[in-house]
Chains A and B, each alone.
Chain A
Amino acid sequence: MSTLEIRDLHVEVETESGPKEILRGVDLTVNSNETHAIMGPNGSGKSTLAYSIAGHPKYTVTRGEVLLDGENVLEMEVDERARAGLFLAMQYPVEVPGVSMSNFLRSAATAVRGEAPKVRHWVKEVKSAMTDLEIDPAFAERSVNEGFSGGEKKRHEVLQLSLLKPKFAVLDETDSGLDVDALRVVSKGVNDYKAQSDVGVLLITHYTRILRYIAPDRVHVFVNGRVAESGGPELAEELEANGYERFTSAAAEKEGQPA
């Protein structure tokens, strides 16, 4: 059993007019085998939370902790966090020209597993994971994410999830920009990995659509840099019916601004 604990996390970014606080005290605990949906309007800081957990250099943590089984992740380098068992499926996966997908996947698996996978097993493993995600094998020889469509990028993020086998996965809008078929394939990939592991999932999304495929145990409404309300799956249904307005206006009132 593992635990990912986020405590009073405050994060700021550097802007032209000085530092700007984006996360303003996030508290959240995810255990193995749990799926937590984080839902919030655009600009509420969801990606900032995801990147901060992964250690993107653009974000500065000014207060709080992120603990993986009691160890402070914030003191680790980006690669150490990944090797400790954290995974971030990015909202905008990065293109790396000239580095083939197969070389990249193998380098990553070698790093995360601590030894190079045996070639024969590895080839089979990648092939079967690609088949499950309905990825054409030709992608293995293409440069990482270069010229991939939105859907192809997201499939490859989930491919990496299934090959790197993290303890905790943060999926940042893995559903956005997907048509129904792609959404089904990608969700199945996540569910398959959930079924064969004890992964804890932080499923970041703007829409409730993906929750029909990936069932959350908990739902957190994320507004203005913090969790505004937490509940069970029924909270997602309320959001589906009424949108974020109740939460955004409440948050605005709390800030002392007109709603």
Chain B
Amino acid sequence: MTDTPVASTGGGSTTAPGAPVLDVDPGIKTASSPKIAPWEERFTSYDVEAFEVPRGREEQWRFTPLRRLNGLHDGAAADGEVAVTVRSGFGDSASDDLGGVRVEHVGRDDARIGEGGIPADRVAAQAWSAFPTATVVTVDQPRSDDEPLTVQVEGPGFGKTAYAHLQLRLEHQAEAVVVVDHRGSGTVAANLELVVGDGAKLLVVEVHDWADDAVFVGAQHLSVGRDATIRHTSVTLGGDLVRLSPTVNYRAPGGDAELDGLYFADGGQHLEQRLLVDHTATHCRSRVMYKGALQGAEGDKAAHTVWVGDVLIRKEAEGTDSYELNRNLLLTDNARADSVPNLEIETGEIAGAGHASATGRFDDEQLFYLMARGIPEAQARRLVVRGFFGEVIAKVRVPALRDRLEAAIEAELEAVGV
């Protein structure tokens, strides 16, 4: 086919130029894979000073242009704050009547803070050390899908730096759909704790629709209780640099986590996603599906995306069922997608595990087929791109948000004349 790999680095099963690319599934860990640090070896701390200032050579940071972090990795002081508002509903229909949902602003001494996870890199620890107050949103009963919660996070403004902390807590058997909607300007580092109680179900969509100047580095701590379900979708559209690090931690057996992602990088943007799914409990399930499109216009700076998907199935995690997939669509030449899936399995007693990664150009055969039916080229391209993201968007349970995402993708395509 015409899906040809263009750029992929890293180890393991990344597609190399010239190799076949579509849904390549080399299966399980190969000898050349960089090892995923097991949980005990993985360094975590709340204390920023416990981490060295990254220089760029570290495995964790090797893809990130540190110079563009505006000092987040090197002790930049806060001179602004993010504005966090919580409303019921999404978009025009949102209201301030939150029903039974509790919103609290607490300090880092609150016992609940940190329940979701501990920072594993210096920027996350910096955010932890420096946030002024944490927002805790607690849902203690099932809410209907028709009543999503919207957490609006507004950047501190152009040239300003802020640190933030947000925790979404779903108590035992609670259910909620939550949109965390990021907008605005400035430089932000944040931790997001998603604490899902036993039997609870959280569908969270994190939207990064930042202004062009914005820099955002976020660590998402997904903590999944017994027989609990989490669906985490990250949508990254705007911003100069956005780096997200979702980590899934199963507290008990029977947890089910699906992580989806959609990202669309234009010229000059650096969009990075680093996932770790740590299977520590028996009979848990994980599914990862990230899809990205890149379009750097000619003469502009390149569009760059990074996807690192680490899945670790530990000795005690018998009955694990896991699959991860990353696909990148290069719409123009001036683009670079790095895709590094890693799967490490320490037990033979699993239900299933696999991974796939593919980076390719536009499929000319698809384009030809649509055009051979009279559909003009630009429209045919839009159909294919919409189709590419369709699987991810279909899983977003908020119709008004789906519409907004579809419109945003159309606008992106429009901008480069694809």
Q: Which residues of B contact A (CB under 8 A)?
A: 364-366, 368-377, 379-380, 383-384, 386-391
Contact = CB atoms under 8 A, between A and B. Distances in A.
Contacts of B366: 94-96
17 contacts: A78-B371, A79-B371, A79-B372, A90-B372, A94-B369, A96-B370, A98-B384, A98-B387, A98-B390, A98-B391, A99-B384, A104-B373, A104-B383, A107-B379, A111-B373, A111-B376, A143-B387
A88 B386 contact: no
Contacts of A103: 383
Interface string A75-119: 001110111000010100111111100011001100110000000
A63 interface: no
A107 B389 CA distance: 19
B368 A160 contact: no
A82 B372 contact: yes
Contacts of A164: 373-374
Interface string A47-88: 000000011110000000000000000000111011100001
Contacts of B374: 79, 82-83, 108, 111-112, 164
Contacts of B371: 77-79, 82
Contact of B372 (A88, A98, A107): A88
A108 B391 CA distance: 22
B413 to A, nearest CB: 15
A98 B373 contact: no
Given A90-B369, A96-B366, 7 more contacts: A79-B380, A94-B368, A96-B369, A97-B387, A97-B390, A98-B389, A143-B387
Nearest to B379: A107
For chain A, the bracket of interface size reads 20 to 34
Nearest to A160: B373
A107 B376 CA distance: 10
A79 B388 contact: no
Contact of B387 (A57, A90, A99): A99
Interface in A131-174: 143-144, 160, 164
Interface of A: 54-57, 77-79, 81-83, 88, 90, 93-99, 103-104, 107-108, 111-112, 143-144, 160, 164
A77 B389 CA distance: 27
Given A97-B387, A98-B387, A103-B383, A56 B373 contact: no
B368 A93 contact: no
A127 to B, nearest CB: 19
B383 A96 contact: yes
A108 B371 CA distance: 8
A28 B390 CA distance: 44
A94 B374 CA distance: 15
Given A98-B386, A99-B387, A104-B383, A111 B375 contact: yes
Contacts of B388: 97-98
Given A56-B368, A94-B366, A96-B383, A108 B390 contact: no
A82 B373 contact: yes
A77 to B, nearest CB: 7
Given A94-B365, A94-B366, A96-B383, A108 B373 contact: yes
Contacts of A144: 369
B373 A112 contact: yes
Nearest to B365: A94
Given A78-B368, A82-B373, A90-B369, A107 B383 contact: yes
A5 to B, nearest CB: 20
Contacts of A108: 370, 373-375
Contacts of B375: 79, 107-108, 111
